[in-house]
Amino acid sequence: MMPPPWLLTLPVVLPLTFGILTLLFPSDWLARAGRHGALLCAATVVPCTRWIWQAGSLHQSLGGWVAPLGIDLYLDGMACLFLIFGALMGLGISFYAAAYFPPSPDGARTRNDLFWPLWFVTWGGINSLFLTLDLFNIYVTLELISVAGVGLILIAGTPGATRAALQYQMQALIAGLVYLLGVGLIYNVVGTLDLQLMGAELQPGPMKNMGMALMTSGILIKAALFPMHFWLPRAHADAPAPVSAVLSGLVVTVAFVILTRIWFAGLHRLAPFLLPRLLGGLGATGILWGGILALRQTRLKRVLAYSTVSQIGYLFLVFALTFHDAPGQGLVWTGAVYLAISHGLAKGAAFMAAGYLQKAEGSDSLQHLRGCARKHPVAVMVLAVASINLMGLPPSTGFIGKWMMLKASFYTQQWMLAVVMLGGGLLAAAYLFRVFEILLQPAETEFDKTQSDAPQTEKKPTALGYSPRGMLIPAMLLALATLVPVLFITAPEALLRIGAPVPFTDFISPGGAP
Amino acid sequence: MSPGLVFDTVLAFSLVVLAVITLRQRTPGEAVVQLMIFGLLLALSWLRVDAPDLALTEAAIGSGVTGALLLAALRRTGFGKPFPAPVSAWLRYPVTLGCAVLGLILSLVVMQSWHHPAGLTELTRQYMPETGTENPVTAVILNYRAYDTLLEIGVLLVAALSVYTLSGPASGTPVKPPGPIFRFYMRIMTPVFWLVVPYMVWVGGRAPGGAFQAGALLSGLGALTLLGPSPWPMRLRRRVVRWGLTLGFTLFLAAAAWMWQHGNFLGYPPEQAKNWILLIEIACTLSIGISLTVMFAGCAGWLHEDPKIAPESAAQAPKRRHP
């Protein structure tokens, strides 16, 4: 069976096309175009999933030039699972944004209109990153996402956002250059940019080790792993809520996916002895540091941003836990993938709920939001469901991911990591319960005053300039999506095994989810 | 010591010295001027390692466009004002030390085990006849690895959009009417630009050149026009500008998807490849030129949030007549 030529490129082309269209469309079409576009873009995942179930992993060479000369796209289980994740996030974010940005009163174009082209281009770039196998192509696409990210943050239009965008731009520049330097060194030795081609013939050497270290550090800056997280809280907290969801839910995850691609394509054999340990150590420090700082924040979105710093730490433990072909690699890797996906969904939903509270109450400062659970029960409910996942409590996918990694840390006898993982969970519970404690507090005077206002605002959502229902339904669905895989956990795992870069020589029976 | 080696040594040495000088300037204005000189010297060093395409791009974009953008931005923040706050020593010395150590390790590693890149040069040459171009660089950029270029054109579009998101309410100081020397220069240079830009696109098929260099030149013309006696681009409708911005990306994407019927995304049939590449290059040149001009206007503070408020320069423009 021949795959249709558009199979792997359509998930990239369609979002890019909508990026152009939403730039050219008149302002009052945009919300609708965004929603319909999102549905179409998300639908491109269906044929990919069908193909991989029926025929397995797939290579497609762009321009008809096979790998060393051209660029190969590659669909395996991991790419497919992340494409599905991207589609879910994309749908949620697009529907949320359509409700979030107020329609311009007289049909004139506003700064908000630029959200749509920038967001669709980001989506296309992210899909491309899930599929690509080419080191230089990764660089170009990362640049695309970063530059779009700067524009997206700037949409907020506040001085804080401008500063955040500048920092974001700076980290993107440095990260891009460092990564590119590493690619240059590797290319000089190996003579190809294709990950699978070079994976076969990689032997350690000074140039290759150096290149690997540089590439890894570049991606670590993008992923905001602990000491390189300086840019994240500001950028993720000061951006408009849909953009926070894009950056914290999707973009950070993408950096992790790329690093796994690069490592498990064989480059982890190059990594000097120290590097995986270092990554594990940084991840562990990040878990604690992010958690502690999240406890001290006074704004809801800041809490969530620092929570991202903490949760990213978990993902990078995978490199320490699979170190030197340790047994049970497949399990750890599956756990990390689950964790990445569930964190993305939950954090996206949490930022959406926070954005709703910010819009409804005029600020996201925790002091200001005291006792707002009575007025906005659904938004707080979304936060709660997302928090189940962030804390890693049982019915969530986050729990399964953390459980798998915890098991692996016991089997590989890395006790410190196990302790940190458990401690990180407690910290997450602490900073999230602190938020709920404030949100659920009865604030009598405030409440009595606002109760008389509330019915009015509920009746005329159009007067608000945003639609509460339109914002909260996508957020709720995303949050609930983190609980769904528990019901049929074997499906994503079977998907992940198709063309998996990691051997599934488990130390316990395969499919060993709890 | 051969003259070439002497030249290279002097070049490398002056690059480092110039970088240090640039970093040590007290005002942004001086730093930008040094940076532009640095860019030119860097272009020269690309020439020395036989990469004329890179040299052209570096000169046009690294020195020319970047310099123009920075100078335009300085118009608003003050050309001669010292840097607002010197970077604290706590940050400066560790960063300097870190860069020095990294540079040292890098040079050691490279000197120790650099071998002439195996690379893909041979393969590139082997399939050249099927690519529709005689310039290996163009073959790589627009055929073998056209996907990268497609996304890069996207980067430029997105960068221009990001500049739009920065545009605030009308503020920038109005342009002074150009003096006689500038007008004279404009009158000579405008036709030269109009000759060189299409030549640059066309020659990209055989020799160093192509959309990026031509687009950079076009944006030079755009910037000159904006500063000149009749800044007609400022009077263009927003919609027209948006179409212009997206033209290259749209056409490239459409062409790429059109090739699905031949079996591969971006896979031009060999006999049509030359025409497709030329078409894409022309569209991309226009869009690159327009994006960079938009960025220039944005840096100078001439993009405004509300399209109904005409920029000051545009409002004044009709009164000033072409000399």
Predicted local confidence at residue B35, as pLDDT: 93
Query: pLDDT category, B131, cuts 50, 70, 90?
Result: confident
A61-70, A283-292, A319-328, B48-57: segment of lowest average pLDDT: A319-328
The whole-number average pLDDT for the span B118-135 is: 83
Count interface pairs A-B at CB distance under 8 A: 162
pLDDT at B312 over 70: no
Residue B272 resides in a domain: yes
Residue B156 resides in a domain: yes
**Distance between A305 CA and the closest CA of chain B, angstroms:** 23
Query: pLDDT category, B314, cuts 50, 70, 90?
Result: very low
ipTM of the assembly? 0.90
The 10s digit of each residue's pLDDT in B275-293 is 999 999 999 999 999 999 9
Residues 6 or more apart whose CB falls under 8 angstroms from that of A37 comprise A14, A15, A18, A21, A22, A94, A120
Which residue of A5, A148, A187 is in closest CB contact with B265? A5
Highest mean pLDDT out of A249-253, A276-280, B137-141: A249-253
Predicted local confidence at residue A445, as pLDDT: 52
Taking an 8 Å cut-off on Cβ atoms, the answer to whether B161 and A117 are in contact is yes
Predicted local confidence at residue A454, as pLDDT: 46
Residue B92 resides in a domain: no
Chain B neighbors of A65, CB-CB under 8 A: 127, 143-144, 267
pLDDT at B234 over 90: no
Residue B84 resides in a domain: no
- Taking the C-alpha atoms of residue B66 and residue B53, their distance in angstroms, rounded to an integer, is 18
Taking an 8 Å cut-off on Cβ atoms, the answer to whether A140 and B113 are in contact is no
Answer whether B99 touches A (CB < 8 Å): no
CB distance A142 to A176 below 8 Å: yes
The whole-number average pLDDT for the span A384-402 is: 90
Please state, rounded to an integer, the average pLDDT across all residues of chain A: 87
Chain A neighbors of B119, CB-CB under 8 A: 187-188, 191
CB distance A128 to A8 below 8 Å: no
Residue B9 resides in a domain: no
The 10s digit of each residue's pLDDT in A329-357 is 788 888 899 999 999 999 999 999 999 99
Answer whether A210 touches B (CB < 8 Å): yes
Residue of B nearest to A181 (CA): B106
Q: What are phi and psi of B5, to 5 degrees?
A: -65, -40
Higher pLDDT, B55 or A102: B55
The 10s digit of each residue's pLDDT in B251-276 is 999 999 999 998 889 888 888 889 99
State both tokens at A141: 């696409």
Please state, rounded to an integer, the average pLDDT across all residues of chain B: 85
Type of residue numbered B319: K
Answer whether A149 touches B (CB < 8 Å): no
Predicted local confidence at residue A427, as pLDDT: 94
What percent of chain A clears pLDDT 90, i.e. is strictly above it? Answer: 56
Taking an 8 Å cut-off on Cβ atoms, the answer to whether B265 and A68 are in contact is no
- The residues pairing with A61 across neighbouring beta strands, listed in sequence order, are A72
Residues 6 or more apart whose CB falls under 8 angstroms from that of A449 comprise none
Taking an 8 Å cut-off on Cβ atoms, the answer to whether B155 and A65 are in contact is no
Q: What is the SS3 assignment for B234-281?
A: HHCCHHHHHHHHHHHHHHHHHHHHHHHHHCCCCCCCHHHHHHHHHHHH
pLDDT at B1 over 80: no
Answer whether A126 touches B (CB < 8 Å): no
> Which residue in A245, A258, A231, A211 sits closest to A166, CA to CA?
A231
Residue from B110, B125, B130, B151 whose CB has the most chain A CBs within 10 Å, to mutate: B151
A267-276, A350-359, A401-410: segment of lowest average pLDDT: A267-276
**Exposure on the CB side of residue A6, measured as CA atoms within 13 A:** 16
- Taking the C-alpha atoms of residue B230 and residue A485, their distance in angstroms, rounded to an integer, is 63
Radius of gyration of chain B (CA): 22
| Structural domain total, chain B | 1
pLDDT at B322 over 50: no
List b or e across A251-261, with b for residues whose CB sees 16 or more CB atoms inside 10 angstroms: bbbbbbbbbbb
DSSP B205-224: TTSS--HHHHHHHHHHHHHH
A407 CB burial (10 A radius; 0-12, 13-18, 19+):
buried
Pairing of strands A72-75, A58-61: antiparallel
- Taking the C-alpha atoms of residue A262 and residue A196, their distance in angstroms, rounded to an integer, is 9
CB distance A486 to A400 below 8 Å: yes
Chain A neighbors of B247, CB-CB under 8 A: none
CB distance A86 to A37 below 8 Å: no
Q: What are phi and psi of A72, to 5 degrees?
A: -105, 135
- Taking the C-alpha atoms of residue A315 and residue A286, their distance in angstroms, rounded to an integer, is 11
pLDDT at B217 over 60: yes
> Which residue in B251, B246, B252, B234 sits closest to B287, CA to CA?
B246
- Taking the C-alpha atoms of residue A418 and residue A406, their distance in angstroms, rounded to an integer, is 6
Residues B99, B105, B111: CA angle, nearest 5 degrees: 130
Residue B65 resides in a domain: no
Answer whether A500 touches B (CB < 8 Å): no
Range of the domain at B240: 120-323
CB distance A117 to A23 below 8 Å: yes
Query: pLDDT category, B3, cuts 50, 70, 90?
Result: confident
DSSP letter, residue A3: P
The whole-number average pLDDT for the span A20-46 is: 94
CB distance A179 to A142 below 8 Å: yes
Which residue of B152, B253, B268 is in closest CB contact with A140? B152
Predicted local confidence at residue A27, as pLDDT: 87
What's chain A's length in residues?
A: 514
Predicted local confidence at residue A493, as pLDDT: 81
The 10s digit of each residue's pLDDT in A408-455 is 888 888 888 899 999 999 999 999 999 999 999 886 555 455 544 444
Residue of B nearest to A161 (CA): B166
Predicted local confidence at residue A444, as pLDDT: 55
Residues 6 or more apart whose CB falls under 8 angstroms from that of B180 comprise none
Predicted local confidence at residue A506, as pLDDT: 53
Residue B166 resides in a domain: yes
Taking an 8 Å cut-off on Cβ atoms, the answer to whether B146 and A207 are in contact is no
Residues 6 or more apart whose CB falls under 8 angstroms from that of B259 comprise A63, B265, B266, B267, B268
Predicted local confidence at residue B319, as pLDDT: 33
Answer whether B203 touches A (CB < 8 Å): no
Residue B255 resides in a domain: yes
CB distance A247 to A152 below 8 Å: yes
The 10s digit of each residue's pLDDT in B66-115 is 999 998 888 877 777 888 777 788 888 898 899 899 999 999 988 887 77
Determine the longest span between alpha carbons in chain A, in angstroms: 72
pLDDT at A104 over 80: no
Which residue of A24, A60, A155 is in closest CB contact with B242? A24
Helix (H) or strand (E) holding A179: helix A159-190
